[in-house]
Structure 1
Amino acid sequence: MPLLQRSSPTDFANSVLPNLHGPLVNIRLNPSGKEYTVLRAVLVSQSQYFSRIFNGNFSEANEQSATMEELDGILSTRSFEVLLLWLYTGKIKCGTQEPGSKAATLIEFARLADMYGIIQVEARIAKQLRKIINQEIAYKGSVDKESEDGSPTDNEDDPDANTHCFTAEDIRSVVNLPMGHRVRSLVAAASVAGFLLKKDYRFAKVAQEVPVFAADLLAQVHATIGGVQYDSTWMAYVTDPVTKRLLYLTKW
């Protein structure tokens, strides 16, 4: 088990999977042509999708083999290898340390898990994504901003800090998850600070182009504003739904 947990998704798929024993099924991804030999029990016990195709009256059940068409933003060698590693070890590893790439991989993995009916991993993905957001805030604060004397400062005065790891494409992708999905809700919640505190909110154009995201954001803003409080000088503030830091509503 230690070897499984240390492996990257790609190393696991290429080196560890072939050496595991038990009834096997073959999964092929098109158009990449990448093939994986996987323990049948692992797939069917945790995925409603794979349980149906390998236990039902389908050709895949007879052949114990399935071909999957890769789907942009959902199924790729990257997301499928992350899925396999999680199914075998319960660990989520993205194979990259760059925050933006990790966030994109987690969103893609969330969509793949949702498509395959794997609901157990939803909270774990959201937890990792929240961790990336907080780490990125700390990192950006230490290297991007300096105080007047040249020393590093924190990043709490940057309203867009919560969304540094996301792109417009991430936003367009995550809204394809079901309403109420933890990952979809988290991305909208991460956008609240920028929306409330900046006139040039960085995802304003995306919100105009993607009504579903605008609705998600509005719901998160409404919930946040509902908790408005006032300090001793009667300055209004709310609590950031992701980082729990105080957001003073100076824009208003």
Structure 2
Amino acid sequence: MKEMVGGCCVCSDERGWAENPLVYCDGQGCNVAVHQACYGIVQVPTGPWFCRKCESQERCARVRCELCPSRDGALKRTDNGGWAHVVCALYIPEVRFGNVTTMEPIVLQLVPQDRFSKTCFICEQQRHESKASIGACMQCNKSGCKQYFHVTCAQAAGLLCEEAGNYMDNVKYCGYCPYHYQKLKRDSNIKIIPAFKPIPADCEDSQEASPERKPPATTGRARMKGATPQEKRALSRQATNGGAAS
């Protein structure tokens, strides 16, 4: 069995819970890990689990996020047939999910063109000028600040956070430039998201990413953190009895 390494590509948390396990993709060379709720997995399958990228028949070189220059991480289909990271979809305000339960497709129609004309200051600081103008940028949440950056660049730099609204389920996904992040008031309605960078996939461009080409987990069940021993035994029994993935 592949080792379960890394945290959730969406929320950056390495923990898993019984009601929201951290699930690992069984695709060959894929290192995607996501919480069930963070990726819109309606039901964790009894057999191996594959992220949407590994389910597709597209070559790795063709799978690009439409909102940032990163190819790694948890992606899903967009409404125009392309790809986008779930984390990018959450933090770009105008992006929507066609189905909020399954979190797909990712709808980009409402994203203003102005976002695609901005350049990422993080890419520029790291001398990745060729990537700075790729995709769409989010803006520092501090009123009046004109710093723009890619969501995944901010995620890797630890500049993302969640701010609770007036209601418990009303969460604002936002980020700050380093200057305003340091001045951010650490109060009860702000959740700091730890820095996170997905483990690069070991994928050759000459190979097609297809479930048929990827060896299943040796245990015959989904690899996950957070399931109770009873749930794990139940999944194992279902797999042994020929339970189908759903």
* Larger radius of gyration between Structure 1 and Structure 2: 1
Higher relative contact order (CA 8 A, sep 6+): 2
The structure whose residues are more often helix, as a share, is 1
TM-score by length of 1: 0.25
Flag the structure with higher strand content.
2
User: When the two structures are superposed, what TM-score results if normalisation uses the length of structure 2?
Assistant: 0.25
